[in-house]
Amino acid sequence: MITWFHKALFAECTEMPVNPDRGWYQIFPFSAGDGFSEEEIRNSLTDTERLVLVIFNIGRYAACELPDEALGQMRAILDLFVRAEKDILLRVCYDTAGDAMGREPSLFRLVSRHMEQVTLMAASFGEKIFVYQGLLIGNWGEMHGSRYLEEKYLVSLADTAQAAMQDRIYRAVRTPAQRKLLLQNAQAKEIQNRMLGVFDDAILGSVNDIGTYSMDKNLREAEIEQMRQAGLAVPCGGEAVWGDGYAETLSADKILQYLSRIHVTYLNRQHDSRLLDHWKNVSCGQKGAFSEHSLYDYIGAHLGYRFVLRNARIRRRKSEKGCRLEISMRMENVGFAPIYRHTESFILWRDDRGGSGEIQIPLDLYGIDAEYEKNIIAEVETERPVKLALLTKRAFDGALIRFANRQTEDGSVELGEW
């Protein structure tokens, strides 16, 4: 006997689900060795964002190893963000004033030792740190304006970071050219290739993102294509900046095409205010659910992944347990980027007499960047009419992955009922 399913309405909502590993972030700067206020940090956090960029300035230790007290302080601060259920972008640097040459160690062996100390400390947090940015060096830790930009130094520092963090924490360097250089020289190239991305802190600041890409048109196109391909496996993000107003010369559609092409997952919501305010006052120019929304709203909703359940077809047949579900779901990732962590999914069921259950299904959203259809079979221990929903979580810690459909209170998406 076949019972037909009355499916839910699978319309996309314009709300921005608070999902892990994506979205706007704010910066939390600290100077290693200085005190910090836990209360002040907590009061600065917002429930509408999961990402934070934590920057540690270690410039005062340029002439010695990092003492245990400094490392302990960094651990305590990172632990505070972990307990607040924030996903961490981490950068450690010698300079936050644009004067790396005057603040970095005079001996590379100290830079190398600091990198070892810092990355081992970061590795102890595992997947709770989403992306480790930079290699300590350069103005603001952005890998320019440093005496240690030669290939031998970059390769050495990258290999040290790789040895400590392995495939548990994504890393990012400042430009596609630096990424290409490191992949060519990596001791463990296969790991670096799937873990090394780019943080672009000058997005749309000029035709070449103020030095992120080459000024040569053909080479720049090749580097952007490298970013597109890399972004299918590793996260990209950073800051969008006004520069000389280049972004103002682009249509909303051109801006969205670019952010989608390089798979932008995270952006600073505090800088550059001139550009962000401009985005808030222009239309996104898109059809569909966001047709009446600003460019800023549209970008914020589509940073990283954004899953929309488009359709579900489910049949129910009698079985020894009660009924056998034959489920086909069609979903789409309409965000700029894939999700970069593995997920677990469950079918939740509830009948009309209070019976309920949860069935894990073989559905992992990792890497999906377009339309996707999945067929599964699940057994439900009831013969009563049932309501069904889909619940998805991040595999390593159970953090909810919310779809951009109408949500139930527990964060699941209604599939429908008989």
What is the tens place of the pLDDT at every residue in 284-336?
Answer: 999 989 999 999 999 999 999 999 999 998 887 777 777 888 889 999 999 99
Cα separation of 305 and 393, whole Å?
14
Kindly report, residue by residue over 117-165, the tens digit of the pLDDT.
999 999 999 999 999 999 999 999 999 999 999 999 999 999 999 999 9
Reference 312, options 193, 184, 418, 173; nearest CA is: 418
Average pLDDT, whole number, for the chain? Answer: 93
Alpha-carbon distance of 342 to 158, in angstroms, equals 25
Q: Among candidates 303, 297, 290, 316, which has minimal Cα distance to 378?
A: 316
Q: Could you give the count of Cα atoms lying within 13 Å of 41 in the half-sphere of its Cβ?
A: 21
**What pLDDT does 131 receive?**
98
> Residue range 173-193: average pLDDT?
85
pLDDT confidence of residue 1:
40
Size (the chain), residues: 418
Which tokens sit at 417?
Answer: 């009922």
Average pLDDT, stretch 338-353?
Answer: 93
107, burial (CB in 10 Å: exposed 0-12, middle 13-18, buried 19+): exposed
Q: Tell me the CA end-to-end span of the chain in Å, nearest whole number.
A: 14
Q: Tell me phi and psi for residue 341, to 5 degrees.
A: -125, 155
pLDDT confidence tier of residue 3, bands split at 50, 70 and 90: low
Q: According to the CATH classification, is domain 3-14+306-417 in 1.25.10?
A: no
Checking if the pLDDT of 179 tops 90, the result is yes
Report yes or no: 329 and 377 within 8 Å, Cβ to Cβ.
no
Based on DSSP, count helices (H) and strands (E) in the chain, helices before strands.
11, 17
Q: What single-letter amino acid sits at 341?
A: R
Give the mean model confidence (pLDDT) for residues 266-283. Answer: 97
Q: Look at the pTM and tell me if it is higher than 0.85.
A: yes
Q: Is the pLDDT of residue 406 over 60?
A: yes
Whether the pLDDT of residue 368 is over 80: the answer is yes
What is the identity of the amino acid at 40? E
- The model's pLDDT over 7-43, given as tens digits with 9 standing for 90+, comes to 899 999 998 889 999 999 999 999 999 999 999 999 9
> Based on the number of CB atoms within 10 Å of its own CB, is 133 exposed (0-12), middle (13-18) or buried (19 or more)?
buried
* Confidence (pLDDT) at 353: 83
Nearest 10 degrees: CA dihedral of 101, 107, 110, 114?
20
**pLDDT the model gives residue 213:** 98
Q: Which long-range contacts (CB under 8 A, 24 or more apart) does 183-186 make?
A: 185/151, 185/155, 186/155, 186/158, 186/159, 186/162
Mean pLDDT of 100-116: 98
Q: What is the bridge-based pairing of β-strands 323-333 and 371-380?
A: antiparallel
The mean per-residue pLDDT over the stretch 113-120 comes to: 98
Residues of the chain with CATH 2.60.40: 3-14+306-417
DSSP for 62-107, please give it.
TTSPPPHHHHHHHHHHHHHHHHTT-EEEEEEES-SSS-HHHHS-SS
What share of the chain in percent tops pLDDT 90? 80
Query: Looking at this protein, which amino acid is placed at residue 167?
Result: D
> In the chain, which segments carry CATH 3.20.20?
23-302
Predicted pLDDT of residue 10: 92
Q: Answer whether residue 103 shows pLDDT above 70.
A: yes
pLDDT value of residue 258: 98
Sign of CA dihedral 104, 177, 29, 75: negative
Q: Is 82 exposed, middle or buried (0-12, 13-18, 19+ CB in 10 A)?
A: middle
Examine the pLDDT at 190 and tell me if it is beyond 80.
Answer: no
Mean pLDDT for 204-217 is 97
User: Does pLDDT of 352 surpass 90?
Assistant: no
Evaluate if residue 415 carries a pLDDT over 80: yes
pLDDT band at residue 187 using 50, 70 and 90 as cut-offs:
low
Distance of alpha carbon 259 from alpha carbon 286, whole angstroms? 15
> Is pLDDT above 50 for 2?
no
Q: What pLDDT does 186 receive?
A: 66
Instruction: Return the CATH number of 23-302, one of 3.20.20, 1.10.287, 3.30.420, 2.20.200.
Output: 3.20.20
The share of the chain scoring above pLDDT 70, in percent, equals 98
d(CA 403, CA 406): 8
